[in-house]
Structure 1
């Protein structure tokens, strides 16, 4: 198996990147990658030639192609950024691995736990690797909090709140590929709140069980437009997780109560250090001084790509692998399974025998009753 990581490190040439899909989110990837040393923006891939050409001209990309095979035939590539609608993430990631390429996948990385397992197997058989975009892990605030947790200065994890309260009007869902189980995999639980509760899981570790409700309260869509869950962690801590796209005052809010401090983060689509607040418990004022140390690194694609490129150039696996992301996807799936079945779902319970393993709604077409009431 060829180690492309070490090859890049040894010969010192730039890491050659292709973009699959050149719509809106691809610009965030291009801007982030252009900030990284030792990277060449090599190919723009899109079935719409005019769009790929405009993207290439904007970002200084060397050439365009209609598909990945054409781009590979046109010259060597090392890394692809998959920036397409969710239903295409899985087949495109498989295609990249079949060419021995590394790939960065926008969220959600796949539409089901079954697809996640298939990607794990394909990655194990390839010289390429996969990295999932969960950029909130990479801001300095999250990294500082993780270090303080590990030092023990915060004490035990106790109670948490994790809210993604956003607003999307009906025309947003009227776009043909939105709000469909087969195309997006779910509603705000999969497509919006997943970033915030991924950060929660990254900080607080493995979850053990979840009880949830979800529904279609205000929008005409096949998926939910809101969900609410109570999550218990292996540590014993308990958190609530709310995901909504029907909330007029938009916010992304994380509150984590420890024995020795409350740590809060409020932002919308990304954060820097000024978005965090630390409130010490009585007699624990030293925690505030410890928090104030270190430089401010905003969350976002640039922060995650810095880690990805550094790892690949050094011959190391890129951060947020498919295996790393599985726990986050499993929680999303468990929220759906609990809300549809009316039962508490344990981590590991959804396996090949479960209808929710192959599709987040279990092919059960939930919330038809709400749709009829709201018609």
Structure 2
């Protein structure tokens, strides 16, 4: 979804909405690129926590070049607006940001709660010169991009299947959110609010869709999910396991596993590195180690956004792809609830998120 109209120069002024964990990551990434950063939050306590605790504990010291303001005091034009708040506020904040005509908007994943209406955002974005991105940053990382190039080039032939897992216990997530006592303290502990394994770890769904498209297999056509929902004594209600079987419009069948129960987390090949391993019969493995840290992911993401805005090229984190993953999250919950396999309506995604169900087949 590349907007029509004349594009403005990207001169690197950033407003970050939300002073939590993701806002802190993006503030540091933008400053590493030399950009001017303003952080706004409705909570003065959140701004202070970011300044005194979060940022220094991750990056050594607070960066005095970062401006912190309440939302009503953030004046002037910003090239990039980053929305790093809970999912139920993403669409209203993005619509408000579109009225300010920035060069780009980056919305943290998931795009919205599963049942949220996102058609208005899709329509407004399609008619705007503003680029809208959704923060599935792993697909623009160096490892995923390398795999996509190999798939597109046919180096390994046409894939017989694709399997993506994103498994991490809550403990790792809450170490990054030390002000939260547990899932019930935020949207993370509520599937209907965009939390649980399906929402929090939807990077895996998004990666599966990205690799399928890179391989020429097309969009996801059928979804069958098994979910393990739990309710806790402190009021949380979420899916701790999200298991998906996906089939594309060309017939490629594969699997996605997302959970919040696996210890230790199964992320990367080793701390500080990813690996791409090309394995062929009767040949030694071609192992490519990509050294990077989690902060590097956000720096790469912002560089990617700047390049896409400058050159006017499509992006795997464009709103169109975020809408596709949003629809898949919704369909996962629906198929688990109904005990059916769901066939998705593959109407052009630019027109909205689309009805998630065209037909149902009991299995």
Q: TM-score of the superposition, structure 1-length normalised? A: 0.75
Conserved 8 A contact 1:105-1:131: yes
Q: Which structure has the larger Rg over C-alpha atoms?
A: 1
Shift in Å, 1:306: 0.9
Q: CA deviation at 1:305?
A: 1.0
Aligned to 1:202: 210
SS at match of 1:344: strand
Instruction: Find the counterpart in structure 2 of residue 152 from structure 1.
Output: 154
Q: 2: distance between equivalents of 1:53 and 1:167? A: 28
Specify the alignment match of 1:368 in structure 2.
none
Please name the residue that 1:255 is paired with. none
Of residues 104-113 and 87-96 in structure 1, the stretch that sits farther from structure 2 once superposed is: 104-113
- 1:250-274 CA-to-partner distances (Å, cap 9, x unmatched) read 214xxxxxxxxxxxx6568xx744x
> May I ask how many residue pairs the two structures share in their alignment?
324
CA distance in 2, matches of 1:65, 1:217: 39
Residue 66 of structure 1 pairs with residue 70 of structure 2: yes
Structure 1 gaps of 5+ residues are: 9-13, 253-264, 361-375
Give the alignment's Cα RMSD to 1 decimal.
3.4
Alignment of 1:49 onto 2:44: yes
Distance 2:189 2:67 in 1: 34
Q: Give the Cα separation in 2 of the matches to 1:62 and 1:136.
A: 26
- 1:98 corresponds in structure 2 to 99
Paired residues of 2:210 and 2:316 also in contact (CA < 8 A): no
Q: State the secondary structure of the residue aligned to 2:251.
A: coil
Q: Cα deviations across residues 217-274 of structure 1 (Å, max 9, x unaligned)?
A: 585532222121211223432212222112233214xxxxxxxxxxxx6568xx744x
CA deviation map 1:41-82 (0-9, x unaligned): 2x2211223543675792334543321x531xx222221111
Take 1:239 and 1:349, find their aligned partners in 2: how far apart are those partners?
18
Tell me if the contact between 2:167 and 2:258 (Cα under 8 Å) persists in the aligned partners.
Answer: yes
TM-score by length of 2: 0.77
User: Which residue does the alignment assign to 2:196?
Assistant: 187
**Deviation (angstroms), 1:198:** 0.9
Offset at residue 276 of structure 1 (A): 3.1
Q: In the alignment, which of 295, 309, 313 is matched to residue 312 of structure 1?
A: 309
Aligned to 2:182: 172
The 2-side partners of 1:239 and 1:266 are apart by 22
| Residue aligned with 2:307, SS | helix
User: Which residue of structure 1 lines up, in the alignment, with residue 137 of structure 2?
Assistant: 135
Structure 2 counterparts to residues 1-375 of structure 1, below 5 A: 5-8=7-10, 14-36=11-33, 39-41=35-37, 43-49=38-44, 51-52=46-47, 55=50, 58-61=62-65, 63-67=67-71, 70-71=73-74, 74-101=75-102, 102-112=104-114, 115-168=117-170, 171-182=181-192, 184-192=193-201, 194-205=202-213, 206-217=219-230, 219=232, 221-252=236-267, 266=269, 272-273=273-274, 275-280=275-280, 282-283=281-282, 285=283, 288-289=285-286, 292=288, 300-314=297-311, 320-348=317-345
Query: Gaps spanning 5+ residues in structure 2: where?
Result: 53-61, 175-180, 214-218, 358-363
> 2-side partners of 1:333 and 1:304: how far apart?
25
1:159 CA displacement? 2.4
1: CA distance between counterparts of 2:265 and 2:36? 37
Q: Sort the Cα spacing of 1:218 and 1:279 in 2 relative to 1 into closer, same or farther, 3 A.
A: farther
Relative to 1, partners in 2 of residues 1:266 and 1:329: Cα closer, same or farther, differing over 3 Å?
A: farther
